[in-house]
Structure 1
Amino acid sequence: MNYRFYIFTLLLFFGGAINFSVEAQGTKFTASVSKNTVAVDEQFKLTFKINAQASNFQAPDLSDFRLYSGPNQSSSMQWVNGVMSSSISFSYVLSPRKVGTLTIGEAQVNAGGKAFNSNPIKVNAVAANSQSKAQATQPQGTKQNNSNSGIQEQIKDNVFLRVVTNKASPYIGEQIVATYKLFYRVDVIDLQADKLPDFKGFASEEIEIKNNQLPEENVNGNIYRVAVVKQIVLFPQRSGKLQIDALKLKTVLRVRTQSRRRSVFDQFFGGFQDLQYDIESKPISINVKPLPENGKPKNFSGAVGSYSYSTNLDKDSVGENEAINLKVVARGTGNIALLPEPNFKFPVDFEVYDPKVNTNKTVSASGMQGKKSFEYLLIPRHSGRFELISEDFSFFNPKQGKYVVVPGKKMSIQVGEAGNSEGPSAVNFSTRKEAVKFVGKDIRYINTGDANLVEKDDTLFGSKAFYLALGSPFLLLFIVLFMQGRMNERNSNQGLLKRRRAGGIAKKHLQKASQLQKESKQVEFYQELSSALFGYTSDKLGIQRSDLSQQSVTEALRTSGASEPDIIEWRELIEACEMARFAPSSDQDAERLLQRAMKNLENLESSIA
């Protein structure tokens, strides 16, 4: 019996070797789509497949399509009727952006030292209300063939999708990790997302899955293989009962069938069939607890997590008009991107520029953590000793179930006069006295020559010019002191100074936002645009940063005489920026948003009294 098995194994090996040599000579690189006719915004799958080992895959231009996933690379090696074959696939999940006949160009890949190009494909994109017609005109090969009820029951019992969370009752703003797990006891050949969850009521950050295979699990007495399909960090935005929506997948499964052909290979391996099958998880609900009112600090800004703060000056002794760098760094776990700007009490003699904000975060299965830094540029305009005070920062720690207050810090800065690095120099005067000796006669004769006498009033001493020259230094000193006083009064009024500079500072923010948009840095673009809108209204209307909100700005704009359309436009711009920053899946036209912001600030500048 054993020698028959060895002979059979050798036949399989040589058959595979012959197949590999044939495949090497007939390498094919093809492109295919799951649907040739789709509605606008309807998802379909694009697959590039090569029947050989390949590298340096170059995708075609997909600008006419919205990208949901990809490129997703997968490889397979299988035996079919005793013949071994291998292939590599590169797949995308796309949807058309517009109606019409859209062409997907050639992709390129290297295999065996040669470059191979795929075939171009045309996709017919129809209007959304023609979706039913589009589904009716799909190729017959893409429709599910689930006529065999016995196979359907076998699939139902052997593969399912489930969503689990690491917390069932979090606080508002507390991060939870939602994991979509695929449990299966049949071979999964392919899968793609058909319907993604909306996560209404949550802010979300998707986790990059590096290893999606998990240990096997026992479910109702059956052992299942487990794979992670999707993993997301969620931050509840309101209290009460919130629902985590279902995820729907389209899969291709390989199931065992009863074959009438009873060849030696069927007897040894059994018969298999590949079937398309839809899997959908069940939505789950979580109970979000409100933050407690007991012990809530007055300056609480909504931060939830565990954080530490450090505040440092690069120097504490400078001269007038010499720059100082102030850096505040927040570290911890939680929604680090939403940490607010710290509050400081800056001396009125200091010119303070808007901080440079840098966020460095990592998102993993344990949640979001990282650091956020704020760098301020300070320029003292007058000499003296000044105190810079940072206000307390508070956050809610969900593990401890209480509020934590990080005390503020008081820093002293010595500002010396410009160019007064050395002490006053001492000047020594020596007086040399000599006795005047008259040699000859002690009585002088009357001078009979030309004496060159002048009248008393004609001399400089005692004249108007003399007194004018004598009083001019005092007049000049009075003018200097008067101008200095006016300048001090003007600089001491920080609110007036910010009001005058509001438009110029906002213009700089918009210029930087334009540059970020050209560099395709979308998150930084919307952050800079939001800073321009909020910063302008804060400086122009004299609203403290700690009191800055849409409601406070709206009321101040109405009071200052801004028109209602400009106020509504300002609110819509802020909401669009917030949506794009904290919900990256939202589709915003960045260039149009920038032009609207410029126009809105121009209108406000001309209408605010």
Structure 2
Amino acid sequence: MRKHLKYILLTALLFSAGVHAQVKVLASINKRVISMNENVNFQVTIEGSQNTSTPRFEKLRGFSVLQGPSTSSQMSFVNGRQSKSITYSYILQPTSIGRQTIGPVSVRVGSQNYRTKSIQVEVVKGNKRKSASNISGTIPKDKIFLNLQTDKSTAYVNGQISLALTLYYKDTDITDVTQPDFNLKGFFVYADGNRPVQQRVMIDNMIYQSVRFQKLLIPLKSGRQIIGPFSINVTIRIPVSGRRRDSFDDNFFGGSIFGNFFGNYKTKVVTIKSNPITVDIKNIPQQGKPENYTGAVGKFSLNASVSPTTVQVGEPVTLTVELSGQGNIDNASVALPTNNTNFRIYEPETTRDTRVSEGQLVGKRTYKQAMVPTSINADTISAINFSYFDIDSGKYVNLRKGPFKLKVKPAPNAGKIKITEFAPVRSNHGSIRILNQDIFPIKTGVDSLGETKPVTRNPVFYTLITVPTTMWVFLAIFAKRRNRMLNDTALYRRTNASRLMKMRLKKAHDALKSNKSKEFYSELSDALTHFIADKIHVPAQQVTALTLSKLLAGRNVSESTIEETKGILEYCDFGRFAPGEFSKEKAVKKYKESEKLIARIDKEVT
């Protein structure tokens, strides 16, 4: 009996441990940037159990609980397995402006305590939504308005600004809303990857419907920048008969079913303008800036590895470098090894994956570089360094991986020269037999054979002698040049720079003819950056508008050429990352300018 009881207790303990291992407690909010006249919806979800205590705020700074908690539970069976969860919802009201902290929140599930992460929310000053100048039409000014917000009023060049443009309306039947045009000068504009968010909110004790458009901005230049105002066109349905709205009406982008059928309404298009916002963009501080800094701003992590680590001379190894994190990863670059006399180094293969998550640009950039040891002394690959500016701490951070040790063995049969031996020719010297018939009469009439010329006077003789010699000299020069190309990566890149540049320009021209704007911008930018990189023997990822002046310093390139090159690269970056109408006429002009600019760089660079 005791033995069975032990098994029962052990089974119960294992089951309880399995239950606890499956429990997850998550905290979430509906938006991270709000104004003082808005509320935020905060939720705590417990997955794996419904036997929980009421969540407790360990910290709630800058907010008060306006309503809640309200609970909702869910239970489902999938493939015979049961899953259940419970959600606690709160409506929080801001009490002060600035960056505020919600949580962490603690909750007890069964006999275990769980704790969520804290969430940062930016609370900005409320805008005057009752301004009559932001609406063109006859709609009452408190019925509909457009509000522009940013998560910060100051930022750094290459930092991030989260932008929210929200349309609020009440007692208004809206059938259509145009997408706002976020074409901004001085910023990269990223879509946040989500569709416009629609929800009900309470402002000044009145319930409004809202439609929020979100974008992420990367500032490109310093100074006071004005964002907006933005305008959108809204189609509003206005009843004509004056009849009372019924339960078949839909006040959320809809209207009356019977109204649509009988036509007892009219539509009106009104233009609504938002408020502008001024932000102060600061340059990255020069004090303490590392030598290898290329303009990265945010929070990043660096990983690097080499495989295999044991090779023979002439066998390739692969250096893999992964840069990931939050920030302007599209423009961040890692300096990879170059100009190592013990290695033959090839151009790296680069992949990039970026997205906007929770209002922040995140992603990963991967480099794979092939390196071939040319001697047994190639036992070390130098360390990989990457520097970025951390906005939260206001300091530069340097990441370092390596150096990486290799074990390089001699190639098989290295240094042995195979000599081909020939067997001696044995002469068969024997006695000479004299035959009675070995002398025949000699004919004297040989005039018909013509005059005999010496072979040295025949042109064919000299041709047969000089052709093999010329071919041998040519092959020797070719082999020497080929070996030099294989062992001198810089020479190889300089020699092939023009050929590869023409191939990329042709791709850009083809994309331009096909009106493929993204491909055109990308190929034109690659043609410039790779040509410059090949000429000065640096990784192409390091050639950006920000680093160009430093890279070309002391290389006899004029300041006007550098500035024009920066302008072309910025034009391409705007085209790739900022939405806007594609002007083919302007693109043709930039393409022709690039051709002339590359010719100038080719003449000037040393």
Matched, 1:579 2:574: yes
The TM-score, its normalising length taken from structure 2, stands at 0.54
C-alpha spacing 1:516/1:412, structure 2 compared with 1 (3 Å): farther
1:193 and 1:248 in contact (8 A); partners too:
no
Task: State the match for 1:130 in structure 2.
Answer: none
Alpha-carbon RMSD across the aligned residues, in angstroms, is 4.6
**Structure 1 residue identity aligned to 2:315:** E
Task: State the match for 1:187 in structure 2.
Answer: 172
Task: State the match for 1:538 in structure 2.
Answer: 533
Deviations along 1:86-132, whole A, 9 cap, x unmatched?
xxxxxxxxxxxxxxxxxxxxxxxxxxxxxxxxxxxxxxxxxxxxxxx
CA distance in 1, matches of 2:373, 2:139: 77
1:499 and 1:539 in contact (8 A); partners too:
yes
| TM-aligned CA deviation for residue 163 of structure 1 | 1.0
Alignment of 1:250-269 (within 5 A): 250-255=233-238, 259=242
CA distance in 2, matches of 1:334, 1:344: 24
Deviations along 1:444-477, whole A, 9 cap, x unmatched?
xxxxxx999xxxxxxxxxxxxxxxxxxxxxxxxx
**Structure 2 residue identity aligned to 1:389:** S
Matched, 1:340 2:333: yes
C-alpha spacing 1:582/1:486, structure 2 compared with 1 (3 Å): closer
Flag structure 2 segments of 5+ consecutive residues without an equivalent: 1-135, 249-255, 418-428, 432-477
1:350 and 1:379 in contact (8 A); partners too:
yes
Deviations along 1:168-201, whole A, 9 cap, x unmatched?
3333322121111111103343334486243222
CA distance in 2, matches of 1:306, 1:540: 32
- Give the match's secondary structure for 1:392: strand
C-alpha spacing 1:356/1:521, structure 2 compared with 1 (3 Å): farther
CA distance in 1, matches of 2:406, 2:515: 40
Alignment of 1:20-419 (within 5 A): 155-193=140-178, 196-210=181-195, 212-218=197-203, 220-228=204-212, 230-255=213-238, 259=242, 274-345=267-338, 347-419=340-412
Alignment of 1:482-497 (within 5 A): 495-497=490-492
CA distance in 2, matches of 1:412, 1:298: 25
C-alpha spacing 1:273/1:577, structure 2 compared with 1 (3 Å): closer
1:196 and 1:246 in contact (8 A); partners too:
no
CA distance in 1, matches of 2:228, 2:404: 50
- Give the match's secondary structure for 1:312: strand
- Give the match's secondary structure for 1:536: helix
2:344 and 2:486 in contact (8 A); partners too:
no
| TM-aligned CA deviation for residue 602 of structure 1 | 6.1
CA distance in 2, matches of 1:392, 1:203: 27
- Give the match's secondary structure for 2:308: coil
| TM-aligned CA deviation for residue 281 of structure 1 | 0.8
**Structure 2 residue identity aligned to 1:403:** Y
Structure with more relative contact order (C-alpha pairs < 8 Å, separation 6 or more):
2
- Give the match's secondary structure for 2:352: strand
- Give the match's secondary structure for 2:549: helix
Deviations along 1:490-513, whole A, 9 cap, x unmatched?
877654444334334445655676
1:510 and 1:532 in contact (8 A); partners too:
yes
C-alpha spacing 1:532/1:355, structure 2 compared with 1 (3 Å): farther
Deviations along 1:581-605, whole A, 9 cap, x unmatched?
3334252547886677567656765
CA distance in 2, matches of 1:263, 1:200: 45
Alignment of 1:433-444 (within 5 A): none
Task: State the match for 1:551 in structure 2.
Answer: 549
| TM-aligned CA deviation for residue 358 of structure 1 | 1.6
Number of residue pairs matched by the alignment:
397
| TM-aligned CA deviation for residue 412 of structure 1 | 2.1
C-alpha spacing 1:404/1:256, structure 2 compared with 1 (3 Å): same
CA distance in 1, matches of 2:169, 2:245: 29
Q: What is the aligned counterpart of 1:503 among 489, 498, 502?
A: 498
Deviations along 1:275-320, whole A, 9 cap, x unmatched?
3322111111123344344443332221111111111223122233
Deviations along 1:196-233, whole A, 9 cap, x unmatched?
24322221112243352124121x342212111x2110
C-alpha spacing 1:347/1:198, structure 2 compared with 1 (3 Å): same
CA distance in 2, matches of 1:553, 1:342: 13
CA distance in 2, matches of 1:371, 1:263: 53
C-alpha spacing 1:511/1:322, structure 2 compared with 1 (3 Å): farther
- Give the match's secondary structure for 1:339: coil
| TM-aligned CA deviation for residue 410 of structure 1 | 0.6
Deviations along 1:499-556, whole A, 9 cap, x unmatched?
3343344456556767877998754653444233223223324568768744357666
Which is worse superposed, 178-187 or 596-605?
Answer: 596-605
1:502 and 1:540 in contact (8 A); partners too:
yes
CA distance in 2, matches of 1:263, 1:576: 53
CA distance in 2, matches of 1:154, 1:166: 30
Alignment of 1:457-476 (within 5 A): none
1:490 and 1:497 in contact (8 A); partners too:
yes
- Give the match's secondary structure for 2:330: helix
CA distance in 2, matches of 1:186, 1:420: 88
- Give the match's secondary structure for 1:385: coil
2:169 and 2:208 in contact (8 A); partners too:
yes
- Give the match's secondary structure for 1:407: strand
CA distance in 2, matches of 1:411, 1:390: 7
Aligned-residue identity in percent: 26
The TM-score, its normalising length taken from structure 1, stands at 0.54
CA distance in 1, matches of 2:306, 2:515: 33
CA distance in 2, matches of 1:527, 1:400: 34
Which is worse superposed, 346-355 or 584-593?
Answer: 584-593
CA distance in 1, matches of 2:368, 2:520: 18
From the two aligned structures, give the one with the greater helix fraction.
1
- Give the match's secondary structure for 2:300: strand
**Structure 2 residue identity aligned to 1:178:** L
| TM-aligned CA deviation for residue 160 of structure 1 | 0.6
